[in-house]
Structure 1
Amino acid sequence: MSEKATIIVHSGDLDKIYSALIVANGALAMGMEVSMYFTFFGLLRLKKGGLNKGALSKMNMLGIGKRMIRRRMKKANVASLERLFADFKELGGKVIACEMTMEIMGVKRSGLNTDLIDSYGAVGTYIKEARNSTITLFI
């Protein structure tokens, strides 16, 4: 059995989505299996056009902080969220969308970017993934 990481993506904050994808891609690059379980405000980033809509968790300053961070990331050659997600999928990463959150927040499958999602599930799906993981993270 190969090593596995499971990440709950609870936050939709831009910096936290970046962190989750960077860690996930690093684990994949090191030969691990990786599942990302998107729930609550993290799930909203899977909506069509929603990937870049999050604010920063700190120092957003009405969007000025977000623009400053994006400029610094570009200068440091940090990949875009789109590129990080494409790499994640290409390396075999798995994305699970939380069905309970979809129901609570009124999110329909038709409103999600289904190219990013591998499956839909509830807490039991997450537990099954986490039970077999050597690393579990909550971001």
Structure 2
Amino acid sequence: MSEKATIIVHSGDMDKLNSSLIVANGALAMGMEASLYFTFWGLLRLKKNGLSQGPLSKMNFLGLGKLIMKMRMKKKNVAPVERLMSDFKELGGKVIACEMTMEIMGIERKDMAEELIDEYGAVGTYIQEARDSSITLFI
């Protein structure tokens, strides 16, 4: 087993995506490898212009909760999701998009933000990543 973290990003909610990226960036900063496997609602964040589109998982209040959370995060110098993803990629993180979810949801590769995606794969791709990981998470 290697020093590697693999995270399933199942939710497209803003707070859960931020949490996934913060943990993954932390792993990379500590010298580990890290991969994010985007599936179901999380996969929607990999669509063109979709990275910052997710609502909050709780207390969204028709978008007002998300706005308040973004303001509080900015005040506390927490990087926005676009910066977290950029850092993740620059540090060598790997993004995998679930092909099965794409088929189920009718999403085509032309719909995706290709610059964010390193690989398209199915469950076997995730299993291989997880098999080689010392940390696995489902967010």
Q: Which runs of 5+ in 1 are unaligned?
A: none
Shift of 1:38: 0.2
Q: After TM superposition, list the pairs within 5 Å mapping 1:95-106 onto structure 2.
A: 95-106=95-106
Structure 1 CA distance, aligned partners of 2:97 and 2:27? 20
- Aligned twin of 1:75: 75
Structure 2 match to 1:13? 13
1:49 aligns with 2:20: no
CA distance in structure 1 between the partners assigned to 2:10 and 2:102 by the alignment: 13
Q: Which TM-score applies when normalising by structure 1?
A: 0.98
Displaced runs of 4 or more, over 2 A: none
Q: Which runs of 5+ in 2 are unaligned?
A: none
**Contact in 1 for aligned 2:2/2:134 (Cα 8 Å):** no
Q: In structure 2, what residue type is equivalent to 1:48?
A: K
Aligned partners of 1:79 and 1:56: how far apart in 2? 16
Pairwise CA distance, 1:2 = 4.2
What SS does structure 1 have at the residue aligned with 2:114? coil
Equivalent pairs, count:
139
CA RMSD of superposed structures (Å)? 0.8
How many angstroms does 1:80 deviate by? 1.1
Q: Percent identity?
A: 75
In structure 1, the residue corresponding to 2:78 is in which secondary structure?
coil
- Residue of structure 1 in register with 2:111 after alignment: 111
Q: TM-score, with normalisation over the residues of structure 2?
A: 0.98
